[in-house]
Amino acid sequence: MVRGMTTNGGSQPVFCTIVPPHVLDRLARAEDPALSGPARRSLEHDAYQRTKRRLTTVIGAAAVAPPAGAAADQPHRTVYDAEHTQDLPGTKVREEGDDAGQDASVNRAYAGLGATFELYLKAYGRHSIDDNGLPLDATVHFGEGYDNAFWNGEQMVFGDGDDEIFLDFTIPVDVIGHELTHGVTQHTANLAYFGQSGALNESVSDVFGSLIKQYTLGQTAAEADWLIGAGLLAPRVTGTALRSMKAPGTAYDDDVLGKDPQPAKMEDYVRTGRDNGGVHINSGIPNHAFYLAATALGGYAWEKAGQIWYDVLTGGGLTEDALFTDFATLTVKAARERYGAGDELQAVKKAWEQVGVRTL
Ligand SMILES: [Zn+2]
């Protein structure tokens, strides 16, 4: 059953930016104004959007209904250009079926929306993020040097980056998949965006974001880089990506950005009031569990490990305030239900054991 349909304003969309506020906070304190200026403007914008989302939720604005008969096996994409303003959605520049144009950001956004649609359809039989053919809209060239990308509950928005720390946010397809997966979660388990349930919400977005990249590249679990946001950091940054599912805490270690704060194990869980209780930090723990299960099973990670995680996200047993141990227990149950008492079950159990999360 699909919970959280937004037509009655019943579910709360998450305003999730791919770059967490604690990273931009640090950047905003940099001495070089070329670094701090864009970060400050991006933070101001994100704070404004968060407030606006809360107000929209209170008012209970109706979501845009998909056109009748849209739940087809084809995406329904529209890409807009904000032309460096903050006006959404901007000027329409590419619709479904149009040929690629000259603008690489437009082409990447269009392809990323398509890749996300395709993984969910081909691997899990899901028709778009609401499983009802929701049209996929994206705006590129948002703001001036805007250092982020986000899903606002209705559409994707991409900044160009400041070119000093962050490049164009349409570059990593896993970032697109991550943000759209927040929409899938919003329409299914609707995990509350705080503490452990918030970290699970973040982790589910990283898991499917990475799977979309792996599916696009035809990579097995062993071949994948398991990075989130590879290609997004400018050459001057000492780092490879925003996060690493393979080795949480090692994605970057930079003078300006600081060090990747993600733990890989429960014993290193970070208790903090920042970042909604560390949702982008402690997601390292379930992220690493998924990586361990997927690599132990081998082959394409979206097939077995991805299917088990998808079953948990959409199965109706996951509560909005779930803890890591609740999620872990449900993956064990899902593995048994789908694959019996075989290697899948053992791989999932062992993965959670290795990151120190108890399964019941
Ligand atoms: Zn997120």
- Per-residue burial over 14-32, b if 16 or more Cβ lie within 10 Å, else e, is bbbbbbbbbbbeebbebee
Domain limit, last residue, from 153, 186, 219: 186
pLDDT at 217: 98
Question: Residue 337: which CATH number?
Answer: 1.10.390.10
312 is a domain residue: yes
Could you tell me if 204 and 313 lie in one domain?
A: yes
pLDDT at 71: 65
Structural domain boundaries enclosing 253: 195-354
Query: Is 303 noted as a catalytic residue in this protein?
Result: no
Q: How many domains does the chain have?
A: 3
Q: Is the pLDDT of residue 94 over 60?
A: yes
Query: Is 280 noted as a catalytic residue in this protein?
Result: yes
pLDDT at 21: 84
Q: Is the pLDDT of residue 345 over 50?
A: yes
Helices 195-217 and 104-124: angle between axes, nearest 10 degrees: 100
User: pTM of the predicted model, to two decimals?
Assistant: 0.91
Centroid of ligand 1 to alpha carbon of 342 (angstroms): 33
179, 182, 202, 344: the catalytic one is 179
pLDDT at 183: 94
Could you tell me if 312 and 241 lie in one domain?
A: yes
Q: Is the pLDDT of residue 5 over 60?
A: no
pLDDT at 67: 53
Residues 6 or more apart from 91 whose CB is under 8 A from it? Answer: 80, 81, 83
Could you tell me if 217 and 297 lie in one domain?
A: yes
Q: How far apart are CA 56 and CA 80, in angstroms?
A: 22
138 is a domain residue: yes
Mean pLDDT of all residues belonging to the chain = 91
pLDDT-based confidence at residue 41 (cuts at 50, 70, 90): confident
Q: What is the mean pLDDT of residues 274-289?
A: 96
* Cross-sheet strand order for the sheet of 156-158: 16-17, 149-151, 156-158, 136-140, 77-81, 91-95
72 is a domain residue: no
Centroid of ligand 1 to alpha carbon of 138 (angstroms): 16
Q: Is the pLDDT of residue 7 over 50?
A: no
pLDDT at 52: 66
pLDDT at 72: 80
Centroid of ligand 1 to alpha carbon of 59 (angstroms): 24
127, 178, 280, 288: the catalytic one is 280
pLDDT at 60: 38
pLDDT at 31: 87
135 is a domain residue: yes
70 is a domain residue: no
Cα separation values, 269 from 196, 264, 272, 319, Å: 10, 8, 10, 21
Provide the residue type at 149 as one letter. A
Q: How far apart are CA 215 and CA 179, in angstroms?
A: 17
Could you tell me if 26 and 93 lie in one domain?
A: no
318 is a domain residue: yes
Could you tell me if 95 and 232 lie in one domain?
A: no
Q: Is the pLDDT of residue 12 over 90?
A: no
Query: Which residues, in sequence order, are bridge partners of residue 258?
Result: 254
